[in-house]
Amino acid sequence: MTNMDKLYEAVAARGPVCVGLDTEFGYLPETAVDPAKTAGENIVAFNRALIEATKAVAGCYKVQIAYYEALGLDGMRAYAETLRLVRESGCPVIADIKRGDIAKTAEMYAKAHFTGDFEADLLTLAPYMGLDSISPYLPYCQEQGKGVFVLCRTSNPGRVDFEYQTLADGRPVYTMVGDALTQLGADYQGEHGYSSVGLVIGGTTGEEASTIRARYPGTFFLIPGYGAQGGKAADIAQYLNKGNGGVVNSSRGILLAWKKQPGVAYDEAAYNECVRMKEDIQSECDKL
């Protein structure tokens, strides 16, 4: 069974919410800060509480490495510990690293993030340099069941700068990327019909949702953009396949849920937001 299979089963069991542990120290409430601990240690304690509170209603977790790199060695220790905590919880963990290099460098990135201190179940990658920036990760998919999510059509406003440029055959660039990656991932199909090569598909607009889902039926999606970026559940539901085939990330919406729930503990507030988000998305999936 591949990690994409495990992700599919996690979504079937607990729903499509991906908790983004993009934890900036400033996101922590005063009650979660121990002045005797380092910033990284406080972040680990905060993350631990959120994982424990939400693991029954989260399909997976995504850890954005930049928030930890910004704290230097203290942050990278927190990053490694956070990955370990998620994996010990039994939930899949996505390392949001967006690497995009080639040859030996890509091999080293793959080794760094699929083994050792920073081991994750799935990684995010950037394809701009071509398919040889993706292929060094595929042996880990083949031999260990690891998985990757490659940037295809993202959620940021600047996506129109490159991703929506029109090719000579009339396709937008993001479709060319998706088509090539789908073909590349055809040899890495799991038990549930999804490739170990997934796509990052932003959920901030529903205009192309049904077309994209139909074009890539055997591809699992990592869907950013819900909540703080403006993505609506009605749009998100169309990128899923009967409520599965994708995970929907929310970072600030869950990490900072305590700010919108006065008097509620931060971990309980995170749980409440996960449940609300899960039900919001499910209600729209039920309408399709």
Question: Catalytic residue numbers?
Answer: 98
Query: How far is residue 252's CA from residue 22's CA, in Å, rounded to a whole number?
Result: 8
Q: Round to whole Å and give the CA distance between 167 and 177.
A: 11
Structure tokens at 32: 């979660």
Distance between CA atoms of 180 and 217, rounded to whole angstroms?
14
What is the rounded CA–CA span in Å between residue 283 and residue 233?
A: 8
Q: Under DSSP, is residue 195 helix (H, G, I), strand (E, B) or coil? A: strand
Report the SS3 class of residue 34: coil
Q: For the chain, report the end-to-end CA distance as a whole number of angstroms.
A: 29
Q: Which one-letter DSSP state was computed for residue 228?
A: G
What's the CA gap between 171 and 181, in Å, rounded?
15
DSSP H stretches of helix in the chain? 3-14, 39-54, 66-69, 72-89, 103-114, 138-144, 159-162, 173-184, 209-215, 233-239, 252-255, 266-285
Listed residue (64, 66, 79, 91) closest to 116, CA to CA: 79
DSSP state for residue 28 in the 8-state scheme: S
Contact 255, 277 (CB under 8 A): no
